[in-house]
Each structure stands twice: as C-alpha cells, then as structure tokens.
Amino acid sequence: MVGCTNNDAVFKVVKKASEEMNKRCPMVIDADTRLDNTLATENPVKLVYYYTVITAEKKTVEAQLGPVKEAMKANVQNMVNTNPEMKFYQDNQIPLTYSYKDKNGAFLFDFTITPKKPSKQAGK
C-alpha cells in the first residue's frame, strides 16, 4: 500500500480542516449566506461546503440560478486560486464542492472547482 500513503496523509489534513470548520458552524458568511457545515470525502479526496442562502426562496430565484451559479463559481475559483490560505489545496489539487440550498432547505445548486497551482511568475 505504498501508493496510498500520500493520499491518506492528504485526506487526514482535509478531514482535520473540515472538523475544525464544523466546530464553528453554523457560521454567518455575509448578509445572504450561512455556512452550515463541511464534509471531507476520502475517495476521491474532496472538501464539500454546505451553505444556506438565508434570504432566498427557490421558487422566487429559480430563473436567476444559472447566471448566479456561474458568477459565484468564477468568484470562488479566483479566490481559491489566489488565497495563500488555500496553498495546501492548490498544491494537492484537491477539489472543492460548494452546495447551496434556500432558506427552506430546498437545493439550489452546487459546483465543484479544482484549485490551480500558483504559477511561478518570472521577475520583470
């Protein structure tokens, strides 16, 4: 099982991060969003964030979900790619799933991104 050692070590770090975040949940992110909990999965190694949009009801926002999802996905991808606190996820290319439900618990959308490793910028 030599090949599993690195994957096991990566999973342990992601699982610990999930457990630490869950100790602080539910956590208000902004006026519209609450992080309810997270989940680390092992095969494949992935971190899932579960959010509630506390100001939204699925029936009233359904028509806008596509554009909202794409805008959020782009913003999250940029944040994850550029945030130094995400270095472990960048270096290990760990997928991150963001799942959103409305204030009544109805599923709105989810998306998964894979952090990009920071590029080595050449000196100018």
CA distance 16 to 3: 21
CATH number of 4-113: 3.30.300.250
Q: What is the pLDDT of residue 99?
A: 98
Q: What is the pLDDT of residue 44?
A: 93
The separation between CA 123 and the C-alpha centre of its own chain, rounded to angstroms, equals: 32
Q: What is the pLDDT of residue 120?
A: 59
Q: What is the pLDDT of residue 119?
A: 66
Q: 26: Cβ–Cβ under 8 A, 6 or more apart, which residues?
A: 34, 35, 36, 37, 52
Q: Tens-of-pLDDT digits for all 124 residues of the chain?
A: 334 457 899 999 999 999 999 999 999 999 999 999 999 999 999 999 999 999 999 999 999 999 999 999 999 999 999 999 999 999 999 999 999 999 999 999 999 999 987 665 544 4
Boundaries of every domain in the chain:
4-113
- Say if CB 110 and CB 98 are below 8 A apart: yes
**Closest C-alpha among 4, 5, 9, 1 to residue 88:** 9
